[in-house]
Every structure is written in C-alpha cells, then in structure tokens.
C-alpha cells in the first residue's frame, strides 16, 4: 500500500502511526484503534478520494463523526479512518441549517441559539451530528418536532463508487429515505441540511427527584398520565441510575419544556410533584445548549476490559398498566442497573412508519436497560440473568434503536421486515461490496 497516492490526491491531512496527532485521531470513546491511516479531509472531494483509496486497497473503512459508537466501529485496526471532525462548519440561512458531517450537537445548539432556532438532537454535547442523525436521533423536542431525521431536508453523500450526490425528496430519493434511520451503511455524509425550528426564548428544564424506595409502578403510572395530558412542548425521561463511585444511586424524572415561560412549564409538570416518593425538584429557564450534558464517558472507564456492559432497548406502543407493573418488577429484580424510559408520541408518532427508515412510530414509551458487571465470572453469570429478566418485557416491546445497542448484529430487531427488505435493496444498489460495514451492518 502506497499512502503517498492518497496524500498527493487530497488537500487535507493523512495521519499515520508516529505522527503527533495520530493517537488522538485513532481513538474514539470506546478506546484506541490502530488504523494504518486517519484522513482529516478538507472537503467532499477528499472524502471521495479516501473512499476510493480504501476500496482499491481493500482496506477496512471507518467513518468518524463524534466517536460515540458503542462498539468503537468509527475506528479500526489496520484500515483507514475518515475523521470528519475537519468538516464541522455550521451555516444558517433563514431556517435552513447546513452542518458539516463531523460537527457535534453542542456546537450546533450554541450556533443556532443567536438565531432563535433549534433542532431536536440528543442529550449530550459531544455526540456527533453524523452518527446520531443517520440512526434517527431521539432528543429533548421529540414530542414537538419528532426525531432529528424528521427535520432533515437534504444531505451530501459520498458513495462507495466515489460519486458525490445530493440526497433529498427529489434527488436520490431512495438514498434519502435510507439514510434517515439506516445508519452509516450507504455512504459518507459530508453535509446535512436541516430545517430548524423557532425557539426564541430557550427552554425550561427541571428534574423531579424520587426516593430510591419509591414505588416505581406508581411513579410510572402517574408520570404517564401527566404526559398524556400535557402539551407537546413537554418532553420527559425517567432515569434510574445505580451508585457510581462516590455518586449515590438516583431516580428522577427529567423534563424539558420548549419555550422560556416558566409558569407554563410549572403548570404542565405540577402534578408530577404529587407523586408519592418525590424528595425534591428543580425548574429553571435556560438556553437549550445548557440542557445538553458535557459528559463524555471516559474511554478508560467505559472501554475498560475490566467492566463489561449488557444492554437492551425496545419500543412499547402503549405504556399501559400491565407493562408498567412488569417493568417495575423486573427493575426490582435487576437491582442496581441503569433504567431509562423516554415517553415519545406527539410529532414523533405522526410521521408515517414507511416515510423514513425508522419503522417504530406507534410508540408511547422507549425503554432502555443497561447493566455493568466486572468481566469474567461475575459477567458470565449476571449477564444471562439480566437478559432473561429483560426478556419478560418481550410481550410488550418491539424493535430496537441501533444507536443505543451494543449488539454486533441487531438489524433484524431494529427494523420491521418491510423496512429491512427495502434497506437491503437500496444497500445493494449503492454499496454492493459492503464497503460501509463499520456500523450496524445492513448487508446487501
Ligand atoms: C453519552 C451518549 C449519549 C447519547 N445520547 C443520545 C441521545 O440523547 N439520543 C440519541 O438518539 N442517541 C444518543 N446516543 C447514541 C448516539 O446517537 C450514537 O452513539 C451515535 O452513533 C453517535 O454518533 P457519533 O457521530 O458521535 O459516533 P461515531 O462513532 O463517530 O459514529 C458512529 C457511526 O455512525 C456512522 N457515521 C458517523 N458519522 C457519519 C457520517 N457523517 N457519514 C456516514 N456515516 C457516519 C459510522 O458508521 C460510524 O461508525 C448517545 C450516545 C452516548 C455515548
């Protein structure tokens, strides 16, 4: 392999082992990789040249935006990484926002605030626009504006054959459909264009703290009833966390109200304060950018070989009393694990399931469970137990969000059969040799 062919073909940088910036560029949140080279492209032409180089040399190809992939697929060993953080510009024209494929959501929120605009992203500043958007993107305005993909109007994509195309409703419509939920399977998105939404006065954000001993079934039922009656400006998440180091276990309902009117937010959430077991609460106006958490899990902790993770997630059409009772019982038996429940509905559910590659729109609750165990004997006995407990929820759950899964091959679970069949045929048309496989892989 002669890397000078690549170096001389592009304007951006090609980093190889020994270069000062190589180690940082080869490392993602999950930990370090050891690729033969990392490209920091200057533009789409550089990306196209890099894709062609990887394809012609038979190199494993990774595409990196924010680097948060749960399995570390945005780096690799011995292959080529396209590190899109060098294409991270954000420009605003009216309500249309064009964002480089390697930008991070915290930067987007901060750049849009002076324009009185926002896009529903995720909940963390450091997560990349690339990976989150291509997988769907569940954020703090999901009930008001839907998923991140529901605000996407166009994308510039470098294909496996080196062509650079624009995908939108009229140009490459199949590709545009597939990249709205199909992950990084179809090409490298160098630019996303979103239609942003007005948010002139920021948000009101708060948390309802619950005693760890609170009756979870009661909590969930009361919370669900509040949200069912609330305006779509209100998006809420239940978060139960085990003790971590010096941090005690916690149980809380976190909310964001789209708008700066504290009284309206307080009125919409007042009934949450009556839930038995509430120990305190906060509520405050703030810029949307301040709601996003900065934390980036430390690669040394999260990727450490000493601790392994078992996780699962699924969508429930109705957060009904029977599901709630079983969920509370399962959580009680799981013990100290992470449980997150996000209530969806609203604008999220009004998009037709066949309109994008995100099939599960008839969803009131999205339920996520994560447990951490020391690797070895403890993991080997506890992980099957955790999986067995979680499977008791199967009668109520369908689908899975791939961006929150550490399964190596989740696609059969992620998509309804018709969605997966269409994704596979589009994959066969755009990437028949499966060059873009460092993702939850949809095989052609
Ligand atoms: C702390 C944390 C918080 C999170 N919070 C949320 C949340 O609130 N909502 C939510 O929906 N998700 C959330 N996620 C999940 C997140 O959406 C996924 O981890 C996502 O893959 C991260 O994207 P990234 O660009 O940072 O990751 P990367 O590791 O850079 O990318 C992941 C994969 O996406 C593909 N990819 C990335 N960029 C491009 C591109 N421009 N073109 C083509 N392919 C590309 C590649 O296949 C790559 O392997 C969270 C994850 C973490 C770790």
The structural domains of the chain, with segments of one domain joined by +, span 9-85, 90-199, 203-412
Q: Convert 10-61 into a string of H (helix), E (strand) and C (coil).
A: CCCEEECCCCCCHHHHHEECCEECECCEEEECCCHHHHHHHHHHHHHHCCCE
Ligand 1 atom 36 nearest Cα: 131
Specify the pTM. 0.96
The predicted structure's pLDDT at residue 300: 45
Q: How far apart are the first and last CA of the chain?
A: 27
CA 11 / ligand 1 centre spacing (Å): 26
CATH classification code of 9-85: 3.30.43.10
CA 373 / ligand 1 centre spacing (Å): 24
Ligand 1 atom 37 nearest Cα: 131
Atom of ligand 1 nearest to the CA of 133: 17
Other C-beta atoms within 10 Å of 406: how many? 15
Which segments in the chain show pLDDT lower than 50?
298-303
Atom of ligand 1 nearest to the CA of 186: 43
Ligand 1 atom 11 nearest Cα: 137
CATH classification code of 203-412: 3.40.462.20
Atom of ligand 1 nearest to the CA of 136: 11
CA 332 to chain centroid: 27
Ligand 1 atom 18 nearest Cα: 403
The predicted structure's pLDDT at residue 373: 87
Ligand 1 atom 48 nearest Cα: 74
CA 283 / ligand 1 centre spacing (Å): 29
Q: Which two tokens stand for residue 330?
A: 């399962």
Architecture of the domain defined by 90-199 = 2-Layer Sandwich (3.30)
Atom of ligand 1 nearest to the CA of 74: 49
Task: Report the pocket of ligand 1 as residue ranges, CB < 6 Å.
Answer: 28, 63-70, 73-74, 84, 101, 122-124, 127-128, 130-132, 134-135, 137-139, 183-184, 188-189, 297, 403-404, 438-439
CA 436 / ligand 1 centre spacing (Å): 15
Q: Closest by alpha carbon to 373, among 384, 357, 362?
A: 384
Other C-beta atoms within 10 Å of 33: how many? 22
The predicted structure's pLDDT at residue 303: 47
Tell me which of 33, 122, 123 to substitute to probe ligand 1's pocket, judged by most ligand atoms within 8 Å of the beta carbon: 122
The predicted structure's pLDDT at residue 305: 52
Q: Which two tokens stand for residue 177?
A: 């459909």
Other C-beta atoms within 10 Å of 165: how many? 15
CA 135 / ligand 1 centre spacing (Å): 7
CA 266 / ligand 1 centre spacing (Å): 33
- How many helices, marked H, and strands, marked E, lie in the chain? 16, 21
CA 443 / ligand 1 centre spacing (Å): 20
Q: Which two tokens stand for residue 166?
A: 């624009």
Atom of ligand 1 nearest to the CA of 123: 8
Q: Closest by alpha carbon to 81, among 69, 91, 93?
A: 69
Ligand 1 atom 8 nearest Cα: 122
Give the tens place of pLDDT for each residue, 141-179.
999 999 999 999 999 999 999 999 999 999 999 999 999
């Amino acid at each position: 392999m002669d890397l000078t062919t690549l170096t001389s073909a592009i304007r951006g940088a090609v980093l190889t082992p020994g270069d000062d910036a190589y180690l940082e560029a080869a490392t993602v949140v999950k930990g370090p990789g050891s690729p033969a080279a990392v490209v920091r492209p200057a533009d789409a032409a550089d990306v196209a040249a890099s894709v062609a180089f990887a394809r012609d040399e038979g190199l494993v190809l990774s595409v990196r935006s924010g680097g948060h992939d749960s399995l570390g697929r945005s780096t690799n060993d011995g292959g080529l990484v396209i590190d899109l953080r060098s294409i991270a510009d954000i420009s605003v024209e009216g309500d249309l926002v064009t964002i480089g494929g390697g930008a991070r959501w915290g930067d987007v929120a901060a750049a849009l605030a002076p324009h009185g605009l926002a896009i529903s992203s995720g909940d963390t500043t450091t997560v990349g626009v690339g990976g989150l958007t291509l997988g769907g993107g569940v954020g703090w305005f999901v009930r008001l504006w839907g998923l991140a993909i529901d605000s996407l109007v166009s994308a510039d994509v470098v294909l496996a054959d080196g062509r650079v195309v624009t995908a939108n409703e009229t140009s490459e419509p199949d590709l545009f459909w597939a990249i709205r939920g199909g992950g990084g399977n179809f090409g490298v998105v160098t630019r996303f264009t979103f239609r942003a939404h007005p948010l002139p006065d920021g948000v009101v954000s708060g948390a309802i703290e619950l005693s760890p001993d609170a009756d979870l079934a009661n909590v969930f039922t009361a919370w669900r009833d509040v949200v069912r009656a609330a305006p779509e400006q209100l998006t809420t998440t239940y978060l139960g966390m085990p003790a971590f180091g010096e941090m005690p276990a916690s149980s809380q309902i976190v909310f964001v109200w789209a708008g700066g009117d504290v009284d309206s937010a307080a009125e919409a959430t007042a009934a949450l304060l009556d839930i038995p077991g509430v120990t305190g609460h906060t509520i405050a106006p703030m810029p949307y950018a301040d709601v996003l958490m900065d934390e980036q899990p430390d690669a040394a902790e999260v990727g450490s070989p000493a601790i392994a993770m078992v996780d699962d997630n699924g969508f429930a059409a109705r957060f009904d009393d029977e599901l709630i009772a079983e969920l509370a019982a399962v959580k009680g038996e799981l013990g100290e694990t992470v449980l997150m429940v996000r209530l969806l509905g609203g604008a999220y559910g009004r998009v037709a399931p066949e309109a994008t590659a995100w099939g599960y729109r008839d969803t009131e609750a999205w339920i996520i469970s994560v447990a951490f165990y020391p690797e070895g004997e403890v993991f080997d006995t506890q992980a099957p137990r955790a999986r067995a407990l979680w499977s008791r929820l199967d009668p109520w759950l369908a689908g899975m969000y791939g961006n929150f899964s550490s399964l190596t091959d989740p696609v059969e679970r992620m998509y309804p059969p018709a969605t997966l069949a269409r994704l596979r045929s589009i994959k066969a048309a755009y990437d028949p040799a499966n060059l873009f496989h460092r993702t939850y892989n949809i095989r052609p």
